[in-house]
Amino acid sequence: MKWHDLNSPEIKALASRDPVAILPVAAIEQHGPHLPLSTDVNIGEGLVEAAVTQLETIPLVVLPTQAVGASLEHVTFPGTLTLSPQSLEDALVGLASGLHAAGLRRLVLSNSHGGNKAAIDSAALRIRCEFTMLVVKAHYFRFPKPSDVGLPDTEWMHGLHGGAIETAMMMHLKPDLVRTDELQCFSSLGEELERTLTWIRPEGVAPFAWTSYDLNPQGVSGDATLATAELGSRLVEHYAGVLAEVVRDAHAFPIGHLERRQTEV
Domain containing 231 equals 3-264
Distance CA 54, CA 107 (A): 18
pLDDT score at 262: 58
Which of 104, 45, 37, 101 lies closest to 71, judged by CA?
A: 37
Which of 92, 99, 160 lies closest to 126, judged by CA?
A: 92
Percent of the chain residues past pLDDT 90, beyond the cut: 96
Could you tell me which residues are beta bridge partners of residue 110?
24, 138
> Is the distance from CB of 4 to CB of 64 less than 8 angstroms?
yes
Does the structure show a pLDDT above 60 at 263? Answer: no
Q: What is the CATH number of the domain that holds 21?
A: 3.40.50.10310
Which of 209, 202, 211, 164 lies closest to 186, judged by CA?
A: 164
Cα torsion for 5, 51, 116, 186, to the nearest 10°?
Answer: -120
Angle made by CA atoms 227, 229, 235, in degrees to the nearest 5: 80
pLDDT band at 264 (very low <50, low <70, confident <90, very high): low
Does the structure show a pLDDT above 80 at 28? Answer: yes
The count of structural domains within the chain is: 1
Angle made by CA atoms 88, 90, 93, in degrees to the nearest 5: 110
pLDDT score at 120: 99
Amino acid at the residue 2: K
Parallel/antiparallel/unpaired status of strands 134-139 and 200-201: unpaired
